[in-house]
Amino acid sequence: MNALEIYRKAAQVLETGENVALITVISTAGSTPGKVGYKMLVWGKKGQNFGTVGGGFTEAEIVRKAENILPQIENQVFGFNLDGTENDEKGICGGSIEFLIETFDKKTLPLFKELSTVIENGRTGVLVSIISDKKPPEKIFLEDAEQIDTAANINFHPEIMETIKKLIAKEQSAKKTLENGVQIFIETISEQPMVFVFGAGHLSSHISKYAKSLNFRVTICDDRTAFANRQRFPEADNIIIDDFENVFDELNIGRNSYIVIVTKGHKYDEIVLENALKTNAKYIGMIGSKRKTSTILKKLNAKQIPAKTLNRVYSPIGISIGAVTPQEIALSIVCELVKIRRLPDASGTNHMTIAF
Protein backbone atom coordinates (compact mmCIF):
# COMPACT_ATOMS: atom_id res chain seq x y z
CA MET A 1 0.00 0.00 0.00
CA ASN A 2 1.69 3.24 -1.09
CA ALA A 3 1.26 6.75 0.30
CA LEU A 4 -0.94 7.85 -2.61
CA GLU A 5 -3.47 5.13 -1.85
CA ILE A 6 -3.39 5.97 1.86
CA TYR A 7 -3.98 9.69 1.32
CA ARG A 8 -6.72 9.06 -1.24
CA LYS A 9 -8.50 6.72 1.15
CA ALA A 10 -8.14 9.19 4.03
CA ALA A 11 -9.80 11.86 1.87
CA GLN A 12 -12.63 9.48 0.98
CA VAL A 13 -13.28 8.66 4.63
CA LEU A 14 -13.14 12.31 5.73
CA GLU A 15 -15.63 13.25 3.00
CA THR A 16 -18.18 10.95 4.64
CA GLY A 17 -17.89 12.90 7.88
CA GLU A 18 -15.98 10.17 9.74
CA ASN A 19 -12.83 11.00 11.66
CA VAL A 20 -9.80 8.97 10.68
CA ALA A 21 -6.61 7.87 12.44
CA LEU A 22 -3.38 7.81 10.46
CA ILE A 23 -0.74 5.47 11.90
CA THR A 24 2.84 5.93 10.68
CA VAL A 25 6.03 4.06 11.58
CA ILE A 26 8.40 6.90 12.53
CA SER A 27 11.45 5.01 13.81
CA THR A 28 12.85 1.51 14.08
CA ALA A 29 15.92 -0.15 15.56
CA GLY A 30 17.13 -3.66 14.81
CA SER A 31 14.85 -6.12 13.05
CA THR A 32 11.18 -5.12 12.79
CA PRO A 33 8.26 -6.18 10.56
CA GLY A 34 7.31 -2.57 9.82
CA LYS A 35 9.73 -0.06 8.27
CA VAL A 36 9.94 3.73 8.62
CA GLY A 37 7.20 5.31 6.53
CA TYR A 38 4.76 2.38 6.63
CA LYS A 39 1.22 3.70 7.06
CA MET A 40 -2.31 2.57 7.77
CA LEU A 41 -5.68 4.15 8.46
CA VAL A 42 -8.28 3.29 11.11
CA TRP A 43 -11.81 4.68 11.24
CA GLY A 44 -15.39 3.86 12.19
CA LYS A 45 -17.00 2.14 15.16
CA LYS A 46 -16.05 -1.28 13.80
CA GLY A 47 -12.38 -0.40 13.46
CA GLN A 48 -12.20 -0.45 9.69
CA ASN A 49 -8.63 -0.19 8.47
CA PHE A 50 -6.58 0.23 5.32
CA GLY A 51 -2.87 -0.33 4.73
CA THR A 52 -0.35 -1.97 7.06
CA VAL A 53 2.39 -1.05 9.52
CA GLY A 54 3.91 -4.53 9.58
CA GLY A 55 1.18 -6.88 10.71
CA GLY A 56 1.16 -9.26 13.67
CA PHE A 57 0.77 -8.39 17.35
CA THR A 58 2.17 -4.86 17.15
CA GLU A 59 -0.21 -3.88 14.36
CA ALA A 60 -3.20 -5.28 16.26
CA GLU A 61 -2.12 -3.37 19.38
CA ILE A 62 -1.58 -0.06 17.60
CA VAL A 63 -4.92 -0.38 15.81
CA ARG A 64 -6.59 -0.89 19.20
CA LYS A 65 -4.85 2.22 20.55
CA ALA A 66 -5.99 4.22 17.51
CA GLU A 67 -9.57 3.07 18.07
CA ASN A 68 -9.34 4.25 21.68
CA ILE A 69 -8.11 7.71 20.62
CA LEU A 70 -10.85 8.22 18.04
CA PRO A 71 -12.92 10.37 17.79
CA GLN A 72 -10.65 12.83 19.64
CA ILE A 73 -8.36 14.95 17.47
CA GLU A 74 -4.81 14.54 18.77
CA ASN A 75 -1.50 12.77 18.17
CA GLN A 76 0.41 10.29 20.28
CA VAL A 77 3.59 8.20 19.95
CA PHE A 78 3.73 4.56 21.04
CA GLY A 79 6.77 2.29 21.13
CA PHE A 80 7.13 -1.49 21.20
CA ASN A 81 10.10 -3.70 21.98
CA LEU A 82 9.99 -6.92 19.98
CA ASP A 83 12.09 -8.96 22.40
CA GLY A 84 9.60 -11.65 23.37
CA THR A 85 10.10 -15.40 23.62
CA GLU A 86 9.07 -18.06 21.12
CA ASN A 87 5.69 -18.39 22.82
CA ASP A 88 5.17 -14.64 23.22
CA GLU A 89 2.67 -12.96 20.88
CA LYS A 90 4.68 -9.77 20.58
CA GLY A 91 7.37 -11.45 18.49
CA ILE A 92 11.04 -12.32 18.71
CA CYS A 93 12.49 -9.99 16.07
CA GLY A 94 14.65 -8.36 18.73
CA GLY A 95 14.15 -4.81 17.49
CA SER A 96 12.05 -1.85 18.55
CA ILE A 97 9.51 0.27 16.67
CA GLU A 98 7.74 3.60 17.20
CA PHE A 99 4.36 4.58 15.82
CA LEU A 100 2.82 8.02 15.46
CA ILE A 101 -0.98 8.05 15.68
CA GLU A 102 -2.65 11.20 14.34
CA THR A 103 -6.41 11.64 14.25
CA PHE A 104 -8.11 13.99 11.80
CA ASP A 105 -11.56 15.40 11.10
CA LYS A 106 -13.11 16.81 7.95
CA LYS A 107 -11.32 20.17 8.36
CA THR A 108 -8.10 18.47 7.20
CA LEU A 109 -9.65 17.14 3.99
CA PRO A 110 -7.83 19.77 1.83
CA LEU A 111 -4.44 18.53 3.10
CA PHE A 112 -5.06 14.93 2.06
CA LYS A 113 -6.47 16.02 -1.30
CA GLU A 114 -3.38 18.16 -1.88
CA LEU A 115 -1.01 15.33 -0.97
CA SER A 116 -2.87 12.95 -3.29
CA THR A 117 -2.63 15.43 -6.16
CA VAL A 118 1.07 16.12 -5.54
CA ILE A 119 2.01 12.43 -5.66
CA GLU A 120 -0.29 11.63 -8.57
CA ASN A 121 1.19 14.42 -10.67
CA GLY A 122 4.77 13.36 -9.97
CA ARG A 123 5.61 16.47 -7.98
CA THR A 124 8.01 16.44 -5.04
CA GLY A 125 8.11 17.99 -1.59
CA VAL A 126 8.58 17.58 2.13
CA LEU A 127 5.86 16.69 4.64
CA VAL A 128 6.72 17.66 8.21
CA SER A 129 4.67 16.31 11.14
CA ILE A 130 4.98 18.13 14.47
CA ILE A 131 4.90 15.54 17.28
CA SER A 132 3.03 17.10 20.23
CA ASP A 133 1.59 14.51 22.57
CA LYS A 134 -2.19 14.69 22.95
CA LYS A 135 -2.44 17.88 20.90
CA PRO A 136 -4.12 18.24 17.50
CA PRO A 137 -1.89 16.97 14.69
CA GLU A 138 0.04 19.53 12.70
CA LYS A 139 1.32 18.65 9.25
CA ILE A 140 3.09 21.09 6.97
CA PHE A 141 3.65 20.34 3.30
CA LEU A 142 6.38 22.24 1.46
CA GLU A 143 6.90 21.72 -2.25
CA ASP A 144 10.51 22.86 -2.07
CA ALA A 145 12.99 22.23 0.73
CA GLU A 146 14.09 25.87 0.45
CA GLN A 147 10.58 26.95 1.52
CA ILE A 148 11.40 25.63 4.98
CA ASP A 149 13.27 28.87 5.69
CA THR A 150 10.04 30.82 5.28
CA ALA A 151 7.67 28.40 7.04
CA ALA A 152 5.81 30.64 9.48
CA ASN A 153 5.58 28.35 12.47
CA ILE A 154 8.76 26.26 12.29
CA ASN A 155 12.36 27.24 12.95
CA PHE A 156 14.75 24.76 11.33
CA HIS A 157 18.39 25.19 12.22
CA PRO A 158 20.99 24.53 9.49
CA GLU A 159 21.67 20.98 10.67
CA ILE A 160 18.02 20.02 10.18
CA MET A 161 18.03 21.72 6.77
CA GLU A 162 21.01 19.63 5.72
CA THR A 163 19.31 16.50 7.06
CA ILE A 164 16.19 17.23 5.01
CA LYS A 165 18.23 17.72 1.85
CA LYS A 166 20.03 14.41 2.42
CA LEU A 167 16.72 12.64 3.03
CA ILE A 168 15.31 14.07 -0.19
CA ALA A 169 18.35 12.88 -2.16
CA LYS A 170 17.95 9.35 -0.77
CA GLU A 171 14.12 9.30 -0.87
CA GLN A 172 14.07 8.59 2.87
CA SER A 173 12.17 9.69 5.98
CA ALA A 174 13.29 10.17 9.59
CA LYS A 175 12.36 11.46 13.04
CA LYS A 176 14.44 14.42 14.25
CA THR A 177 14.58 16.75 17.26
CA LEU A 178 14.73 20.54 16.92
CA GLU A 179 16.86 22.80 19.10
CA ASN A 180 13.87 23.62 21.29
CA GLY A 181 13.29 19.92 21.98
CA VAL A 182 10.28 19.57 19.67
CA GLN A 183 10.28 16.33 17.72
CA ILE A 184 9.31 16.22 14.06
CA PHE A 185 8.87 13.48 11.51
CA ILE A 186 10.22 14.40 8.08
CA GLU A 187 8.82 12.58 5.05
CA THR A 188 10.17 13.20 1.60
CA ILE A 189 7.66 12.96 -1.21
CA SER A 190 9.80 11.96 -4.14
CA GLU A 191 8.93 12.03 -7.80
CA GLN A 192 7.40 8.74 -8.79
CA PRO A 193 9.68 7.19 -11.41
CA MET A 194 8.22 6.75 -14.88
CA VAL A 195 8.48 3.46 -16.74
CA PHE A 196 8.33 3.88 -20.51
CA VAL A 197 7.19 0.57 -22.01
CA PHE A 198 7.83 0.35 -25.75
CA GLY A 199 5.48 -2.24 -27.19
CA ALA A 200 1.92 -2.93 -26.10
CA GLY A 201 1.73 -6.70 -26.38
CA HIS A 202 0.62 -9.28 -23.81
CA LEU A 203 3.86 -9.05 -21.84
CA SER A 204 3.54 -5.27 -21.58
CA SER A 205 0.06 -5.49 -20.06
CA HIS A 206 1.48 -7.47 -17.13
CA ILE A 207 4.53 -5.19 -16.81
CA SER A 208 2.20 -2.20 -16.62
CA LYS A 209 0.03 -3.71 -13.87
CA TYR A 210 2.97 -4.85 -11.75
CA ALA A 211 4.88 -1.58 -12.13
CA LYS A 212 1.84 0.55 -11.29
CA SER A 213 1.16 -1.50 -8.15
CA LEU A 214 4.74 -0.76 -7.01
CA ASN A 215 4.38 3.01 -7.23
CA PHE A 216 5.87 3.55 -10.68
CA ARG A 217 4.10 5.74 -13.20
CA VAL A 218 3.65 4.05 -16.58
CA THR A 219 3.72 5.28 -20.18
CA ILE A 220 2.86 2.84 -22.97
CA CYS A 221 4.22 3.50 -26.48
CA ASP A 222 3.17 1.63 -29.63
CA ASP A 223 2.02 2.29 -33.17
CA ARG A 224 -1.04 -0.01 -32.96
CA THR A 225 -4.32 1.38 -31.65
CA ALA A 226 -5.68 -2.16 -31.37
CA PHE A 227 -3.06 -2.86 -28.70
CA ALA A 228 -2.28 0.50 -27.11
CA ASN A 229 -5.63 1.49 -25.63
CA ARG A 230 -7.40 2.04 -22.30
CA GLN A 231 -9.18 -1.30 -22.45
CA ARG A 232 -5.86 -3.12 -22.30
CA PHE A 233 -3.98 -0.61 -20.12
CA PRO A 234 -6.52 0.99 -17.76
CA GLU A 235 -3.88 1.70 -15.12
CA ALA A 236 -1.34 3.44 -17.41
CA ASP A 237 -0.70 7.14 -16.84
CA ASN A 238 -0.10 7.79 -20.53
CA ILE A 239 -0.68 5.91 -23.76
CA ILE A 240 1.11 7.30 -26.81
CA ILE A 241 0.41 5.99 -30.29
CA ASP A 242 3.08 6.85 -32.85
CA ASP A 243 5.82 5.31 -34.95
CA PHE A 244 8.77 4.12 -32.91
CA GLU A 245 11.02 6.34 -35.04
CA ASN A 246 9.11 9.47 -33.96
CA VAL A 247 7.71 8.74 -30.52
CA PHE A 248 10.78 9.95 -28.61
CA ASP A 249 9.98 13.51 -29.73
CA GLU A 250 6.86 13.32 -27.53
CA LEU A 251 8.54 11.93 -24.42
CA ASN A 252 10.19 13.61 -21.46
CA ILE A 253 12.76 11.01 -20.41
CA GLY A 254 15.01 12.00 -17.51
CA ARG A 255 17.25 10.59 -14.79
CA ASN A 256 14.29 9.10 -12.95
CA SER A 257 13.03 7.23 -16.02
CA TYR A 258 13.10 3.51 -16.81
CA ILE A 259 12.91 2.25 -20.40
CA VAL A 260 11.60 -1.24 -21.13
CA ILE A 261 11.87 -2.38 -24.76
CA VAL A 262 9.46 -5.17 -25.68
CA THR A 263 8.26 -4.22 -29.16
CA LYS A 264 6.72 -6.40 -31.86
CA GLY A 265 10.03 -7.24 -33.56
CA HIS A 266 13.83 -7.01 -33.59
CA LYS A 267 13.79 -4.14 -36.11
CA TYR A 268 11.71 -1.97 -33.80
CA ASP A 269 13.71 -3.01 -30.71
CA GLU A 270 16.83 -1.70 -32.46
CA ILE A 271 15.15 1.58 -33.41
CA VAL A 272 13.94 2.15 -29.85
CA LEU A 273 17.26 1.12 -28.29
CA GLU A 274 19.23 3.50 -30.49
CA ASN A 275 17.01 6.40 -29.40
CA ALA A 276 16.93 5.27 -25.77
CA LEU A 277 20.72 5.41 -25.57
CA LYS A 278 20.56 9.13 -26.41
CA THR A 279 18.64 9.76 -23.17
CA ASN A 280 19.91 9.85 -19.59
CA ALA A 281 17.37 7.27 -18.36
CA LYS A 282 18.34 5.46 -15.18
CA TYR A 283 17.55 2.07 -16.75
CA ILE A 284 17.38 0.74 -20.31
CA GLY A 285 16.33 -2.89 -20.68
CA MET A 286 15.66 -4.83 -23.89
CA ILE A 287 14.06 -8.24 -24.17
CA GLY A 288 15.75 -10.88 -26.27
CA SER A 289 18.23 -13.71 -26.41
CA LYS A 290 21.98 -13.23 -26.03
CA ARG A 291 22.39 -13.75 -29.78
CA LYS A 292 19.79 -11.10 -30.63
CA THR A 293 21.25 -8.66 -28.12
CA SER A 294 24.80 -9.21 -29.37
CA THR A 295 23.71 -8.66 -32.98
CA ILE A 296 21.85 -5.42 -32.23
CA LEU A 297 24.59 -3.99 -30.02
CA LYS A 298 27.26 -4.70 -32.65
CA LYS A 299 25.14 -2.98 -35.30
CA LEU A 300 24.78 0.08 -33.08
CA ASN A 301 28.50 0.05 -32.34
CA ALA A 302 29.12 0.10 -36.08
CA LYS A 303 27.07 3.34 -36.10
CA GLN A 304 29.72 4.90 -33.83
CA ILE A 305 27.84 4.36 -30.57
CA PRO A 306 30.66 3.66 -28.10
CA ALA A 307 30.92 0.46 -26.08
CA LYS A 308 30.63 2.43 -22.83
CA THR A 309 27.20 3.69 -23.90
CA LEU A 310 26.07 0.26 -25.09
CA ASN A 311 27.06 -1.24 -21.76
CA ARG A 312 24.20 0.67 -20.17
CA VAL A 313 21.80 -1.86 -21.67
CA TYR A 314 20.27 -4.58 -19.47
CA SER A 315 19.75 -7.58 -21.71
CA PRO A 316 18.61 -10.27 -21.40
CA ILE A 317 16.15 -8.23 -19.40
CA GLY A 318 14.90 -9.11 -15.92
CA ILE A 319 16.05 -10.91 -12.78
CA SER A 320 16.76 -14.61 -13.25
CA ILE A 321 13.86 -16.45 -11.59
CA GLY A 322 13.30 -19.23 -14.11
CA ALA A 323 10.38 -17.33 -15.63
CA VAL A 324 8.36 -19.09 -18.33
CA THR A 325 4.90 -17.51 -18.64
CA PRO A 326 4.31 -13.88 -19.72
CA GLN A 327 3.25 -13.07 -16.16
CA GLU A 328 6.48 -14.53 -14.74
CA ILE A 329 8.66 -12.78 -17.31
CA ALA A 330 6.92 -9.48 -16.56
CA LEU A 331 7.48 -10.09 -12.85
CA SER A 332 11.21 -10.69 -13.42
CA ILE A 333 11.45 -7.42 -15.38
CA VAL A 334 9.66 -5.36 -12.74
CA CYS A 335 11.82 -6.99 -10.04
CA GLU A 336 14.83 -5.61 -11.89
CA LEU A 337 13.27 -2.14 -11.97
CA VAL A 338 12.78 -2.27 -8.21
CA LYS A 339 16.37 -3.46 -7.71
CA ILE A 340 17.76 -0.54 -9.71
CA ARG A 341 15.47 1.88 -7.88
CA ARG A 342 16.19 0.67 -4.36
CA LEU A 343 19.80 -0.50 -4.72
CA PRO A 344 21.55 2.23 -6.69
CA ASP A 345 24.89 0.41 -6.43
CA ALA A 346 23.37 -2.39 -8.52
CA SER A 347 22.96 -0.11 -11.53
CA GLY A 348 25.52 0.15 -14.29
CA THR A 349 26.05 -3.58 -14.73
CA ASN A 350 24.53 -5.32 -17.72
CA HIS A 351 23.94 -9.05 -18.03
CA MET A 352 26.35 -9.88 -20.78
CA THR A 353 29.71 -8.79 -22.16
CA ILE A 354 29.88 -7.98 -25.84
CA ALA A 355 33.20 -7.99 -27.67
CA PHE A 356 33.18 -4.98 -30.04
In a domain, 355, yes or no: no
DSSP character at residue 9? H
User: What pLDDT sits at residue 296?
Assistant: 94
Instruction: Looking at the structure, tell me whether residues 146 and 21 fall in a common domain.
Output: yes
Examine residue 145 and state whether it is found in any structural domain, yes or no.
yes
Burial-class residue 5 by CB neighbours within 10 Å (0-12, 13-18, 19+): middle
| pLDDT score of 86 | 47
Neighbours of 267 (CB within 10 A): 11
Query: Which of 157, 189, 221 is at the close of a domain?
Result: 189
Three-state secondary-structure class, residue 225: coil
Based on the fold, state whether residues 145 and 221 are members of the same structural domain: no
Query: Same domain for 133 and 253?
Result: no
Q: Same domain, yes or no, for 170 and 54? A: yes
Those residues whose C-beta lies under 8 Å from the C-beta of residue 318, and which sit 6 or more positions away, are 285, 329, 332, 333, 335, 336
Backbone angles phi, psi at 355, to 5 degrees: -90, 115
Residues listed for the chain: 356
Beta carbons within 8 Å of 147's beta carbon, 6+ residues apart: none
User: CATH number of the domain that 238 lies in?
Assistant: 3.40.50.720
Q: Do residue 35 and residue 173 come from a single domain?
A: yes
Query: Of the candidates 158, 189, 220, which is a domain's last residue?
Result: 189
Q: Which among 186, 195, 215, 229 has a CA at the least distance from the CA of 120?
A: 215
Q: Which residues pair with 186 in a beta bridge?
A: 128, 174
Q: Are residues 158 and 10 in the same domain?
A: yes
Q: Are residues 222 and 74 in the same domain?
A: no
- In degrees rounded to 5, what are phi and psi of residue 77? -110, 135
What is the pLDDT, as a whole number, of residue 23? 97
- The answer to whether residue 352 is domain-embedded is no
Note whether 95 and 211 are same-domain residues: no
Mention every residue, 6+ apart, whose C-beta is less than 8 A from residue 310.
277, 297, 300, 301, 354, 356
Residue 99 in domain: yes
Do residues 243 and 142 share a domain? no
Same domain, 211 and 322: yes
The b/e string for 121-159 (b: 16+ C-beta within 10 A; e otherwise) is eeebbbbbbbbbeeebbebbebeebeebeeeeebebeee
**Does some domain include residue 351?**
no
- Give me the pLDDT at residue 294, please: 92
Is 354 within the bounds of a domain?
no
Low-confidence ranges of the chain (pLDDT < 50): 85-88, 152
Together in a domain, 30 and 128? yes
> Would you say residue 336 lies in a domain?
yes
Average pLDDT, the chain: 88
3-state secondary structure of 89: coil
In a domain? residue 213: yes
Domain ranges, residue 290 = 194-346
Residue 26 has a CB neighbour count (10 Å cut-off) of 24
pTM assigned to the model: 0.76
Angle 284-287-289 (CA atoms, 0-180°, nearest 5)?
Answer: 125
> Using CA atoms in the order 319, 322, 323, 324, what is the torsion angle rounded to 10 degrees?
150
pLDDT at 92: 54
Q: Are 136 and 207 in the same domain?
A: no
Domain count, the chain: 2
Distance CA 165, CA 169 (A): 6
Chosen domain end from 189, 210, 238: 189
Quick one: pLDDT at residue 120?
80
